[in-house]
Amino acid sequence: MSLNQIRGRFAPSPTGEMHLGNAWTALLAWLHTRSQGGQMILRIEDLDPDRSREEYVKQLLEDMAWLGLDWDEGPDIGGAYGPYYQSERRNFYEAALEKLEAAKLIYPCYCTRAELHAVAAAPHLGETEYVYPGTCRTLTGKEREERQKQSRRSSVRLTVSNEIICFSDALQGECRQAVEFSCGDFVIRRSDGVFAYQLAVVVDDGSMAITEVLRGADLLMSTPRQLLLYRLLELQPPVFIHVPLLIGTDGSRLSKRHGSLSLANMRKRGIKPETIIGYLAWKAGQIAAWEPLTARDMIGHFSINSIPVAPVVVEDML
Split into its structural domains, the chain has a count of: 2
- Alpha carbons 258 and 246: distance in angstroms, whole number: 12
Considering the domain architecture, whether residues 134 and 192 belong to the same structural domain is answered as yes
**pLDDT above 60: residue 121:** no
Looking at the chain, list the stretches that DSSP marks H as alpha helix, in order from N- to C-terminal side.
Answer: 20-34, 54-67, 90-102, 113-120, 141-149, 179-182, 197-207, 223-232, 263-268, 273-283, 295-298
Nearest 10 degrees: Cα torsion 274, 278, 280, 285: 160
| Domain containing residue 94: CATH number | 3.40.50.620
> pLDDT tens digit string along 256-315?
555 568 899 999 999 999 999 999 999 999 999 999 999 999 999 999 999 999 999 998
User: What is the domain extent for residue 16?
Assistant: 7-88+244-313
The yes-or-no answer on residue 256 being catalytic is: yes
Catalytic residue among 58, 99, 104, 256: 256
> pLDDT tens digit string along 8-53?
999 999 999 999 999 999 999 999 999 999 999 999 999 988 899 9
Considering the domain architecture, whether residues 116 and 237 belong to the same structural domain is answered as yes
Considering the domain architecture, whether residues 106 and 190 belong to the same structural domain is answered as yes
Considering the domain architecture, whether residues 233 and 248 belong to the same structural domain is answered as no
Considering the domain architecture, whether residues 106 and 231 belong to the same structural domain is answered as yes
